Structure 1
Amino acid sequence: MDFRAKPIVRGNADTSRQRSRRLRRRLGRTLLAALVTAAVVVPLSGAARQEIPAPPPAVLAPLTASTLDAAYAANRADAAEAARMAADHGDHTRAAADRAMAAPSRRFLSFDGRGSGRAAEVFGDLAHADRVAVLVPGSDTTLETYGRFRALSALALYDRLGPRGAVIAWLGYETPGTVSTTVITPDRAEQAAPLLRAFLHRLRGVAGRSAHLSLLCHSYGTVVCGRAAPGLDVSDIVVFGSPGTGASSAAALRTPARVWAARGSADWIAYVPHTSVGLFGTTVGLGPDPVSPSFGARVFRTGTAGHSDYLAPGSVSLANLTRIVLGDTSEVTRA
Structure 2
Amino acid sequence: MWFGRGDATGVHRSGRWWRAGLAVLIVACVVVPLSAAVRPEVPAPAPARVAPAAPLAVRYAAHRANAAEAARVAQAAGASRRAAALRELAAPERHFLEFDARGPGATAEVLGDPRTAERIAILVPGSDTSIDTYARFRRGALALHAKLGPRVAVVAWLGYATPGTVSTEAVTPDRARTGAAELRAFLDRLRAYGVPGRTPIALLCHSYGSVVCARAAHGLGEPGPQPRVTDIVLYGSPGTGYDRVAELRTRARVWAGRATHDWIADVPHARAQLLGVTVGFGPDPMSAAFGAHRFDAGDGSHSDYLEPGSTALDNLARIARGQTPEVPHA
TM-score (norm. length: structure 1): 0.89
1:251 corresponds to: 246
Return 30-39 or 117-126, whichever deviates more: 30-39
Q: 2:61 aligns with which of 73, 80, 101?
A: 73
Gaps of 5+ in 1: 1-16
1:133 alignment partner, SS class? strand
Distance apart, 1:40 and its partner CA: 3.2
1:189 alignment partner, SS class? helix
2:229 corresponds to: 234
Q: 2:144 aligns with which of 140, 157, 169?
A: 157
1:7 corresponds to: none
The reply on whether 1:334 has 2:327 as its aligned counterpart is yes
Distance apart, 1:221 and its partner CA: 0.4
Distance apart, 1:28 and its partner CA: 4.2
Amino acid at match of 1:60: V
1:103 corresponds to: 91
Gaps of 5+ in 2: 1-6, 221-227
Is 1:55–1:81's contact at 8 Å kept on the other side of the alignment? yes
The reply on whether 1:276 has 2:271 as its aligned counterpart is yes
How far apart are the structure 1 equivalents of 2:231 and 2:32? 37
The reply on whether 1:192 has 2:179 as its aligned counterpart is yes
How far apart are the structure 2 equivalents of 1:19 and 1:147? 47
Q: 1:26 aligns with which of 12, 16, 34?
A: 16
How far apart are the structure 2 equivalents of 1:126 and 1:155? 15
How far apart are the structure 2 equivalents of 1:86 and 1:306? 34
2:201 alignment partner, SS class? strand
1:212 corresponds to: 200
2:132 alignment partner, SS class? coil
Which whole-Å deviations, capped at 9, do the CAs of 1:283-327 have from their partners, x for residues lacking one? 000111101000000001112021011111111111111111111
Amino acid at match of 2:78: G
2:122 corresponds to: 134
Distance apart, 1:49 and its partner CA: 2.8
1:119 corresponds to: 107
Distance apart, 1:278 and its partner CA: 1.1
Is 2:144–2:313's contact at 8 Å kept on the other side of the alignment? yes
- CA root-mean-square deviation: 2.0
2:165 corresponds to: 178
Is 1:130–1:210's contact at 8 Å kept on the other side of the alignment? no
Distance apart, 1:130 and its partner CA: 1.1
Return 178-187 or 44-53, whichever deviates more: 44-53
Amino acid at match of 2:189: R
How far apart are the structure 2 equivalents of 1:128 and 1:319? 23
Is 2:107–2:159's contact at 8 Å kept on the other side of the alignment? yes
Q: 1:39 aligns with which of 11, 29, 34?
A: 29
How far apart are the structure 2 equivalents of 1:38 and 1:164? 44
Which whole-Å deviations, capped at 9, do the CAs of 1:100-130 have from their partners, x for residues lacking one? 0001110001111111111110101111001
Name which one, 1 or 2, has greater alpha-carbon Rg: 1
How far apart are the structure 1 equivalents of 2:95 and 2:33? 38
Return 267-276 or 305-314, whichever deviates more: 305-314
Which whole-Å deviations, capped at 9, do the CAs of 1:73-119 have from their partners, x for residues lacking one? 11001000000000000000000000100011100011111111111
Amino acid at match of 2:48: A
C-alpha spacing 1:39/1:334, structure 2 compared with 1 (3 Å): same
How far apart are the structure 2 equivalents of 1:171 and 1:21? 41
How far apart are the structure 1 equivalents of 2:47 and 2:14? 47
Distance apart, 1:225 and its partner CA: 0.5
Which whole-Å deviations, capped at 9, do the CAs of 1:42-78 have from their partners, x for residues lacking one? 4899333311110111111114xx6211110110010
Is 1:24–1:271's contact at 8 Å kept on the other side of the alignment? no
2:39 alignment partner, SS class? coil
Is 2:35–2:164's contact at 8 Å kept on the other side of the alignment? no
Is 1:29–1:273's contact at 8 Å kept on the other side of the alignment? no
C-alpha spacing 1:46/1:253, structure 2 compared with 1 (3 Å): same
